[in-house]
């Protein structure tokens, strides 16, 4: 098994930390540490972890017209087992950013591009049934 650090970016989300600025519409970056047999398998494990972290921090997706929330794997790194052990199970939280009016169209178009040309980058947060 190999240790991976995965950075996920969420776009068109709402969170209490964003407040009412720009109607509270923004995005986030967050990092997860997982152990898996391959990078592809590690990317699949992120869905459950992302849903759990979003629920813990009251972050929700915002769907309005063509501005639909999406989450994608921004980066994935292979890390040492020492770094994995140091951060395993640690809730790093989120780094939030606001989305300006002009950026919204670019980010909406990027979602369509990912959906059509790079679907393996998209992550759908879900809590698996126990």
What is the pLDDT, as a whole number, of residue 24?
A: 62
Output phi, psi for 65, to 5 deg: 65, -125
Report helix, strand or coil for 47. Answer: helix
Range list of H helices, the chain: 39-56, 81-87, 101-117
Q: Is the pLDDT of residue 89 over 90?
A: no
pTM across the whole model: 0.86
What is the pLDDT, as a whole number, of residue 130?
A: 46
How many Cα atoms sit within 13 Å of 128 on the Cβ side? Answer: 8
What is the pLDDT, as a whole number, of residue 129?
A: 46
Q: Is the pLDDT of residue 60 over 80?
A: yes
Poorest-pLDDT segment among 25-34, 58-67, 76-85: 58-67
């Amino acid at each position: 098994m190999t240790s991976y650090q995965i950075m996920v970016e969420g776009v068109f989300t709402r969170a209490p930390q964003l407040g009412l600025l720009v109607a509270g519409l923004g995005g986030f970056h967050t990092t997860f540490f997982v152990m898996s047999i391959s990078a592809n398998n590690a990317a699949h494990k992120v869905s459950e972890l992302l849903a759990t972290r979003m629920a813990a921090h009251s972050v929700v997706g915002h769907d309005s017209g063509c501005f639909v929330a999406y989450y994608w794997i921004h980066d994935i790194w292979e890390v040492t087992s020492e770094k994995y052990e140091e951060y395993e199970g640690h809730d790093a939280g989120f780094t939030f950013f606001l989305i300006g009016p002009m950026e919204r169209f670019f980010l909406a178009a990027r979602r369509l591009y990912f959906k059509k040309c790079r679907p393996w980058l998209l992550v759908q947060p879900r809590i698996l049934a126990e």
